[in-house]
Amino acid sequence: MNRIATLACLLLLTPALDAHAAAIVGKPAPALEARDADGKTVRLDAYKGKYVVLEWVNRQCPFVRKHYGSGNMQSLQKKYTEKGVVWLSVCSSAPGKQGYVQGPEAKEWMAEEKAAPTDFLLDPKGKVGKAYGAKTTPHIFVIDPKGKVVYNGAIDDKPSTDREDIETARNYLSAALDASMAGKKVEVAATQPYGCSVKY
């Protein structure tokens, strides 16, 4: 009887929980384990004690190209990794879908773009993306040294594919990292991400 009840509960709860799987601001970040472009296994808990940025990427998406074509993403990557922040670019495009890459291609693209993340993670089954509730490319998550989510959302406040908008945009990622690293409260901790849908 109990087992049936438990099973019924699980069956009832599972879809709702799935749909709700997300990185919630103020809560511990979902576990993360994925292969990087070199085939090495990367785990989030290995970076405890450091700030971690997760950036969802699809190199063919016009919103991603806005931030790479302008050099904006690369300069953010350089600026913050120099301050000891761990920056993980994550690609959740499924095989055959737009933006899908395997290791060597990912490395080639990073070299071409002079991208400077700490690592590039391959998530072709969308396991990491779905655990975090990654919806768009780009979609940004910031995790503090205790492993708590301090930001979930858009890279900035100008949802467009126009490179010209970058200069006048308010960058939420920088604002969240700067505030959190200075021991201050993150003013805008959750926003609606903008971009192409993640190609699960």
Partner 1 sequence: MWAPTMLLALSLNPPGASAANVEASLISERPSVAPGVPFHVGIRMRIRRGWHIYWRNPGDSGLPPRITWTLPKGFAAGPIEWPIPGRSEENNLVTYGYDRDVILSVRITPPATIHATSITIAGKLDWLECAEICLPGSARLWRSLPVSPGPGVRTPEAAVIAAARARLPAGPEGWAFSAEAGPRAIALDFVPPKGIAPREAYFFVDKPLVTEHATPQGLERTKRGYRVTLARAANAAGNLARLSGVLVIEDAGHARSRIGVNVDVPVSRGNPAYRAPTKPSNRNRQGERS
Among 70, 74, 160, 174, binds partner 1 (CB under 8 A): 160
Instruction: Check binding of 126 to partner 1 (CB under 8 A).
Output: yes
Gyration radius of the chain's alpha carbons: 17
| # chain residues binding partner 1, by CB under 8 A | 38
CA distances from 176 to 41, 99, 104, 160, 168 (A): 28, 27, 32, 21, 17
Instruction: Check binding of 179 to partner 1 (CB under 8 A).
Output: no
Select 56 or 80, whichever has its Cβ closest to partner 1. Answer: 56
Q: CB of residue 34 vs partner 1: minimum separation in angstroms?
A: 18
d(CA 160, CA 169) in angstroms, rounded, equals 10
Q: CB of residue 52 vs partner 1: minimum separation in angstroms?
A: 18
Q: Kindly give, in sequence order, each residue whose CB lies less than 8 Å from that of residue 57, ignoring residues fewer than 6 positions away.
A: 64, 89, 90, 91, 99, 120, 137, 138
Q: CB of residue 124 vs partner 1: minimum separation in angstroms?
A: 13
d(CA 132, CA 28) in angstroms, rounded, equals 11
- Residues making contact with partner 1 (CB under 8 A): 12, 15-16, 18-20, 22, 24-25, 60-63, 97-98, 126, 130, 133, 135-136, 152-153, 159-162, 189-200
